[in-house]
Amino acid sequence: MTPRPLLTPRLAEFGETIFAEMSALALRTESINLGQGFPDTDGPAEVSDVAIAAISGGYNQYPPLIGVPELRHAIVEHQRRFWGLDFNPDREVLVTAGATEAIAAAMLAFCDPGDEVVTFEPYYDSYAASIAMSGATRRVVTLRPGDDGLYHFEIDELRAAITPATRLLLLNSPHNPTGKVFRRDELQQIADLCLEHDLIAVTDEVYEHLVFDGGEHIPLASFPGMADRTVQISSGGKTFSFTGWKVGWVCARPELVTAIRTAKQFLTFVNAGPFQPAIAVGLRLGDDFFEGLSAELQAKRDRLACGLRDVGFDVYSPEGTYFVTADVRSFDTDDGRAFCLALPERAGVVAVPSVVFYDNKHEGSHLIRFAFPKQDSLLDAAVERLQRLKA
């Protein structure tokens, strides 16, 4: 008798994440790790001080399932302040273990086997896993760089990806890993299709405050007819540089939040009790903090992108997020994965091959991703090491 595989077939394509693999490679080779997207400095002391005080003050037991009141009210204030969206803090907000859990809980809540989820590729790797865990099937629409150096999609491809089996559309803007910030006209096209086909929209907006060059983040929920069908997800990790705290949230109409809460309560139940009031303080920081964060990251983007171009990469400059994409074909190869695996020995730097974020492997085989939310001295050291590629 052939033994049954231990891992369910729907997760068979998922092994160790590329981030764990490349981070381990960085440690083994003592390389500079520009693969995984996390800052190498802590966020504001006025935020972390609240968490320290909460721990010292005994704020260490289960918080409420939907999140502590301080954070839920701060989230509502934030949504109104920045995006003009109104939510009820008791019925339309749910605190989660980061945005990743929120996305997984949404897929589990809304999707059945046979359903389809439309998303854009390249996609953050947890999207594929979350869709698979729900038993649904993913259908992808490819983002491609245009002559302007920015990423675009074809509306006809998006329209063709939607079938009678489509249950929801999963959108990430600002987008990881391309750095694309979806424009108002593109979002209107997406909203129109969601309304036409009666789709739920799940929007991952964790980089909402990391938009560059005077660009604008526009929530899909703000478009006519979309508030009642959009699940808006964000977190404090990227905005406040506390990625390890894993404090995320969902904002949506009560019936949508209730469905997600039903799944979420059997995942982590609750999390991050002492960190929740700290993130509430962060959300209430002044405009100077949010504007300064964007300006600082934009400068780091420019610093790394300039260095990569000097080394010889073709670079697609992101409109937002933590990441810059580079093309390896100028180094006489179109195999980005092999290039990344060899890069630590060749230059002492780790990047991530973008191909792992694609279903259509040929679309991303020649692309790699560098993370830039690092100290300037580390970015400069990485570029200096990469100069070895010129030899």
Render pLDDT for 171-218 as a digit per residue (tens, 0 to 9): 999 999 999 999 999 999 999 999 999 999 999 999 999 999 999 999
Residue 391 has pLDDT above 80, yes or no: no
For residue 380, the model assigns a pLDDT of 98
- Mean pLDDT, the chain, integer: 96
3 confidence band (pLDDT: 50, 70, 90) = confident
The edge-to-edge listing of strands for the beta sheet with 323-327 is 314-316, 323-327, 367-371, 352-353
> What confidence tens digit (pLDDT) does each residue in 236-256 have?
999 999 999 999 999 999 999
Distance CA 84, CA 346 (A): 49
What b-and-e string marks burial along 240-253, b requiring 16 or more CB atoms within 10 Å of the CB?
A: bbbbebbbbbbbbb
Residue 1 has pLDDT above 70, yes or no: no
Beta strands in 31-121 (DSSP E): 32-33, 93-96, 116-121
Q: What is the pTM of this model?
A: 0.96
Contacts of 326 (CB under 8 A, 6+ apart): 308, 313, 314, 315, 316, 351, 367, 368, 369, 370
In the numeric block, which tokens belong to residue 218? Answer: 């526009």
- Phi and psi torsions of 71, nearest 5°: -75, -40
> What confidence tens digit (pLDDT) does each residue in 301-315 have?
999 999 999 999 999
For residue 2, the model assigns a pLDDT of 65
For residue 18, the model assigns a pLDDT of 81
Weakest-pLDDT range from 14-28, 152-166, 265-279, 343-357 = 14-28
For residue 23, the model assigns a pLDDT of 83
More confident of the two residues 227 and 7: 227
Residue 13 has pLDDT above 60, yes or no: yes
Pick the CATH number of 9-43+288-390 from 3.90.1150.10, 1.10.3720.10, 3.40.50.880, 2.40.50.100: 3.90.1150.10
Three-state secondary structure readout of 250-263: EECCHHHHHHHHHH
The tally of CA atoms less than 13 A away on the side-chain side of residue 138 is 27
**Fold entry, domain 45-285:** Aspartate Aminotransferase; domain 2 (3.40.640)
Contacts of 309 (CB under 8 A, 6+ apart): 315
| Domain boundaries defined on the chain | 9-43+288-390, 45-285
Residue 22 has pLDDT above 90, yes or no: no
Per-residue DSSP letter, 268: T
Percent share of the chain, pLDDT over 90 = 91
Distance CA 356, CA 328 (A): 15
> What confidence tens digit (pLDDT) does each residue in 41-96 have?
999 999 999 999 999 999 999 999 999 999 999 999 999 999 999 999 999 999 99
Distance CA 297, CA 374 (A): 9
What b-and-e string marks burial along 259-291, b requiring 16 or more CB atoms within 10 Å of the CB?
A: bbbebbeeeeebbbbbbbbbbbbbbebeeebbe
Continuous H helices in 210-332 = 237-240, 254-264, 276-283, 287-311
Query: Distances in Å between the alpha carbon of 214 and those of 79, 248, 298, 331, 373?
Result: 20, 26, 10, 33, 19
Residue 16 has pLDDT above 80, yes or no: no
For residue 112, the model assigns a pLDDT of 97
Would you call 325 helix, strand, or coil by DSSP? strand
The 10 Å Cβ neighbour count of residue 211 is 22
